[in-house]
């Protein structure tokens, strides 16, 4: 089975939505109290909604590609979370965190290029 490029783009969108949901969860915990007010915590509600949309996109995307190609792309959620944390929350990104982000990008790229070689009969 060949992975459709739109499936890859959809999974990347799902990872961005997942990171957005995590950001909303973080915002929702700022003044969180474990009582009935959780039912009106719009940041948490929006976070769950965005997570649900992300999951739906991921499920549909998996129909149009190889799991071994698409699932590692989910690691991009870690990249987006670091960028969002730095840009919107003012969190520090030290050299070690940037190295980790770089390794994720390189690793996912290697998996993508490896699947292309296998599709063209160049791989093992």
| Furthest CA-CA distance within the chain | 59
Tens-place pLDDT, residues 2-59? 888 899 999 999 999 999 999 999 999 887 887 877 888 999 999 999 999 999 999 9
Domain count, the chain: 1
User: What is the percent of the chain where pLDDT is above 90?
Assistant: 60
Tens-place pLDDT, residues 86-108? 999 999 999 999 999 999 999 88
Query: What is the pLDDT, as a whole number, of residue 124?
Result: 47
* DSSP letter (8 states) at residue 34: S
SS3 category, 74: helix
* DSSP letter (8 states) at residue 63: T
> Does a structural domain hold residue 100?
yes
pTM across the whole model: 0.83
> Does a structural domain hold residue 124?
no
C-alpha–C-alpha distance, residues 41 and 71, integer Å? 31
Residue 102 belongs to domain spanning: 5-119
Query: Which of 23, 62, 59, 63 lies closest to 43, judged by CA?
Result: 23
């Amino acid at each position: 089975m060949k992975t459709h490029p739109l499936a890859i783009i959809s999974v990347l969108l799902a990872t961005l939505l997942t990171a957005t949901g995590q950001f909303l969860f973080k915002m929702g915990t700022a003044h969180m109290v474990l009582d009935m007010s959780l039912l009106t915590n719009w940041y948490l509600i929006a976070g769950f909604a965005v997570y649900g949309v992300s999951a739906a996109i991921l499920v549909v995307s998996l129909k149009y590609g190889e799991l071994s190609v698409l699932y590692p792309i989910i690691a991009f959620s870690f990249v987006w979370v670091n960028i969002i944390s730095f840009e919107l929350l003012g969190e520090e990104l030290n050299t070690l965190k940037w190295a980790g982000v770089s390794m994720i990008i390189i690793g996912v790229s290697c998996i993508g290029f490896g699947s292309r070689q296998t599709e063209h009969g160049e791989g093992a």
